[in-house]
């Protein structure tokens, strides 16, 4: 069977060879396999140095201090620690949280759990078609008892970029803790946690060509005393997240983030050409609409809904040729239409005929050209009608 063209980098990325090499060096007896918490011998010291270096590499990408990086198992845990960690400060108090309707399920499900505990949550509706969440919407939603704002930097389905800097300024003005899910932003756009007034920022390794099962939560030093621990047992990570550190995964994430920082601008330029080529070609095939903002976005994603006479045929053929998604990976087993596309104003039918293409390091112009050529052939093939005679 021929392999599908991989166009699902938003779901996960392959680990780069140079990252794999560093990961492997932390596994065997002749490598750096020690427990970073073991401070009585050089095996632990060597591992701890590698962890500290990786922590600095993560901090460099987001312009933070290394002491503000807390290791987790991934962005989902980071999101949970951020929201629940702040909310836990307010037992038996009716407090207010602001988020949006198009957040990742790790945010939406956590907010739903907090609602059951008595928290009030405002889910901002995105701008139709573009998916923008504006600073004006956030400002209008702020209440005297608002304690937390949580919004993603780059939407994981449509690639739209939120004006995090302006919203961060609002949060600072009102002394509200500001959390940002940056799992899809790291390595794609410049991130400066100080300039954007971000207090908490979630990151993932496997979205940036690092290993799965590792992530980080940036916690501003001033906020660290306010964040309540969710996983206890040993006091690791400044007491905010206990558990033996996975040196190999941490080193892999650090190496991947360092590489991402080096290639950020050039890679975005390269992917912009691929995205434009595919978008222009799709418009020649059938009626198709763009999901997401045409300018305020990253270049890695192209989400479209086919609305013409060939909508069903094209979406099925694309899935036979390429590894793509109709929504985020966490929802791929759910037959319901994407909550993001519905929030943008797409009908259930249009959402069912939608494709998220996401590009990455191994995507080439030849891949795009082959996909388009095959779709053109598919549309020109005569359709066979079968008749049943009695």
Catalytic residues: 330
Going by C-alpha positions, the residue among 76, 54, 264, 257 that lies closest to residue 152 is 76
Residue whose pair of structure tokens reads 């909550």 in the numeric block = 339
Which residues lie across from 350 on neighbouring strands? none
Q: How far apart are CA 220 and CA 309, in angstroms?
A: 52
Main-chain dihedrals φ then ψ at residue 141, nearest 5 degrees: -90, -15
CB-based contacts of 111-119 (< 8 A; 24+ apart in sequence)? 111/83, 111/150, 113/84, 114/83, 114/84, 114/87, 117/87, 118/92, 118/93, 118/94, 119/87, 119/90, 119/94, 119/95
Going by C-alpha positions, the residue among 231, 251, 250, 228 that lies closest to residue 241 is 231
Strand, coil or helix: what is 302?
strand
Token pair of 106 as six digits: 């790790």
CB atoms within 10 A of CB 369: 14
Q: How far apart are CA 33 and CA 83, in angstroms?
A: 33
First-to-last CA distance in the chain? 39
Going by C-alpha positions, the residue among 149, 87, 152 that lies closest to residue 119 is 87
Q: Yes or no: say if 83 and 111 are a contact pair by the CB < 8 Å rule.
A: yes
Q: How far apart are CA 189 and CA 62, in angstroms?
A: 10
């Amino acid at each position: 069977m021929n392999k599908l063209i991989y166009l699902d980098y938003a779901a996960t990325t392959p680990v780069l060879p140079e990252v794999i090499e560093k990961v492997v060096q932390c596994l065997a007896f002749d490598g750096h396999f020690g427990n970073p918490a073991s401070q009585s011998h050089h095996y632990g010291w060597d591992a701890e140095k590698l962890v500290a270096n990786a922590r600095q590499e993560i901090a460099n990408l987001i312009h933070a201090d290394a002491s503000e990086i807390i290791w987790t198992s991934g962005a989902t845990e980071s999101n949970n620690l951020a929201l629940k960690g702040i909310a836990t400060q307010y037992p038996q108090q009716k407090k207010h949280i602001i988020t949006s309707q198009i957040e990742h399920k790790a945010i939406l499900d956590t907010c739903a759990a907090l609602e059951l505990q008595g928290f009030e949550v405002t889910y901002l509706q995105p701008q139709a078609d573009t998916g923008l969440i504006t600073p004006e919407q956030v400002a209008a939603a702020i209440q005297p008892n608002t304690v937390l704002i949580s919004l993603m930097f780059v939407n994981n389905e449509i690639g739209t970029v939120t004006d995090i800097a302006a919203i961060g300024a609002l949060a600072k003005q009102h002394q509200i803790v500001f959390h940002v899910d940056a799992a899809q932003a790291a390595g794609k756009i410049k991130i400066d946690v100080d300039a954007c007034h971000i207090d908490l920022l979630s990151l993932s390794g496997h979205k940036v060509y690092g290993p799965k099962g590792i992530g980080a939560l940036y916690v501003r030093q001033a906020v660290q005393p306010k964040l309540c621990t969710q996983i206890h047992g040993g006091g690791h990570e400044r007491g905010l997240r206990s558990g033996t550190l996975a040196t190999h995964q941490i080193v892999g994430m650090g190496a991947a983030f360092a590489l991402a920082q080096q290639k950020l601008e050039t890679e975005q330029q390269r992917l912009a050409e691929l995205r434009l080529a595919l978008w222009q070609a799709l418009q020649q095939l059938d009626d198709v609409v763009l999901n997401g903002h045409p300018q305020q976005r990253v270049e890695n994603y192209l989400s479209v809904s086919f609305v013409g006479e060939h909508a069903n045929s094209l979406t099925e053929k694309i899935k036979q040729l390429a590894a793509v998604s109709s929504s985020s990976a966490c929802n791929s087993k759910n037959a319901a239409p994407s909550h993001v596309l519905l929030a943008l104003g797409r009908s259930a039918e249009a959402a069912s005929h939608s494709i998220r293409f996401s590009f990455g390091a191994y995507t080439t112009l030849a891949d795009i050209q082959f996909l388009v050529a095959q779709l053109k052939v598919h549309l020109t093939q005569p359709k066979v009608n079968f008749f049943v005679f009695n």
